[in-house]
Amino acid sequence: MKNSALKDFHKKHLKERIRLVADFANLSQGDVDVLEGRRNLSLETAESMVENFVTKIEIPMGIATNFLINGKDYLIPMAIEEPSVIAACSYAAKIARQSGGFTCYASDPLMIGEIQIIDIPNPDYARITLMKNREKLLEMANEKSKSLSQMKAGAKDLYITGYHDDQDVLVLNLLVDVRDAMGANIVNTMCEYIAPAVEEISGGKVNLRILSNLSDRRMVHCSATFKTDLIGGKEVSRRIVKAYSFAKNDIHRAATHNKGIMNGIDAVLIATLNDWRAVEAGAHSYASMGGYGPLTRFALDSKGDVIGSISIPMAVGTVGGSMRSSPVAMVSMKILGVGSSSEFAQVLASVGLAQNFAAVRALANEGIQHGHMKLHSRNIAIAAGAKGELVDIISSRMVKEKNISPSRAVELLEQYLHNNSDRKE
Ligand code: MEV
């Protein structure tokens, strides 16, 4: 039985951490070579991915531990430049684990394609004729993906919406079950393919043919309980619920609250080279549907424990996309060990909830800077010029002095180098 509660993982040496991850995920020597930096995205492949290519950019990737989701253990690869995100996520997962972990549900992976029809001579009539041709249009769309059709997926339904202020315009919304793909390509292909038939049937002209990133037919819901005794007691729990109501009632807070959620989700999407902009667009537009608000909710149960929940659209794939081009992204997927896009969506929602819980708990208690600056102190020491063991020496000295700043790091480094050169003379 796999166990993601890897004790003192953060204290281990890098090689040992990689070994533990490799054991957990049954990684091959080739995968370990990737993690240890001996094999990565080649310049040749990278050049074929974007235009005017010049180089690649590195982002550190770590592993969040302790995740138990629907009874299964996961280690979660997270690529992010911000310190304390991975630690916070692992902390919240550890607390949730004590109450059975995260319980999630993902809907069918239905994406929406939008076909905008303009200059329609008789929109009311066109709406009816388009719906009468529903079967024919769906059949046509499905010609574009034999593999989805074989899986009884593909174009499933369509419906018409219209503008109130633009009388000669209708929108045909195509619902496509994209299974394990993110789905943008197939949805766009289908929309473009049926567009001429849509023009003929409606008497109008097709303008835009593109998927919607508000994938609110591809939702994931997730809940976890955080025991009050493990998070600082009843007052902290009460304050967490107050923090939620702050986000619910104040759009400026809601934006930051949701940013914290996306800190976690984006980091996993980047580690797996999924389209994080699509998920961001979906998350924020969904958060705006009844007036912009938080994507998570927090409430107390009868014992005073905190129940956290998240509902979020999640357009992600486990096949297709750019993932295959990147050896690290492929190893990340192996570490995650998800068998479908909906399992992946459930992992992502759990990470978002964990991240948000950890941030809100810290904010409602000791404040975020304490933990954050402690971890950031290493970056500050490096930026000041510290190398090797000096990074730890200077960062822990700043933490001890409660004075974590670039100027103090430079002072300490100068002192250290000066004292050491004295000793040598
Ligand atoms: C920082 O990257 C994220 C937080 O601001 C999120 C929040 O305030 O909930 C800490």
* Nearest CA owner, ligand 1 atom 6: 260
Please indicate whether residue 82 is annotated as part of the active site.
yes
Ligand 1 atom with minimal separation from the 82 CA:
2
- 59 in any annotated domain: yes
Write out the residue range of the structural domain in which residue 312 sits.
Answer: 9-107+218-365
Number of separate domains in the chain: 3
pTM for the model stands at 0.91
Ligand 1 atom with minimal separation from the 368 CA:
10
Residues 99 and 243 in one domain: yes
* Half-sphere exposure at residue 333, Cβ-oriented, CA atoms within 13 angstroms: 20
Question: H or E segment at 221?
Answer: strand 219-226
Residues 182 and 222 in one domain: no
Backbone angles phi, psi at 220, to 5 degrees: -130, 140
Q: How far apart are CA 109 and CA 186, in angstroms?
A: 13
Walk across the sheet containing 296-300 and list its strands: 103-106, 219-226, 306-313, 296-300
- 1 in any annotated domain: no
* Nearest CA owner, ligand 1 atom 10: 359
Place of tokens 């960062």: 395
Ligand 1 atom with minimal separation from the 260 CA:
6
Residues 166 and 63 in one domain: no
Last residue of a domain, one of 342, 365, 388: 365
| Catalytic option among 275, 280, 284, 411 | 275
Residue 391's CATH number: 1.10.8
Query: Max Cα separation, the chain?
Result: 94
The pLDDT tens digits along the chain (425 residues) read 899 999 999 999 999 999 999 999 999 999 999 999 999 999 999 999 999 999 999 999 999 999 999 999 999 999 999 999 999 999 999 999 999 999 999 999 999 999 999 999 999 999 999 999 999 999 999 999 989 999 999 999 999 998 766 679 999 999 999 999 999 999 999 999 999 999 999 999 999 999 999 999 999 999 999 999 999 999 999 999 999 999 999 999 999 999 999 999 999 999 999 999 999 999 999 999 999 999 999 999 999 999 999 999 999 999 987 888 899 999 999 999 999 999 999 999 999 999 999 999 999 988 877 777 777 888 899 889 999 889 989 998 998 888 888 899 999 999 988 888 766 55
Burial class (CB in 10 A: 0-12, 13-18, 19+), 139: middle
Crossing angle of helices 341-363 and 234-249, in 10° steps, is 110
DSSP state of 102: B
Whether 359 is in the pocket of ligand 1, judged by its Cβ within 6 Å, is yes
Query: What's the 76 CA to ligand 1 centre distance in angstroms?
Result: 20
Ligand 1 pocket test, candidate residues 85, 368, 372, most atoms within 8 A of CB: 368
Burial class (CB in 10 A: 0-12, 13-18, 19+), 424: exposed
| Catalytic option among 82, 119, 301, 366 | 82
- 3 in any annotated domain: no
- 4 in any annotated domain: no
Please indicate whether residue 81 is annotated as part of the active site.
no
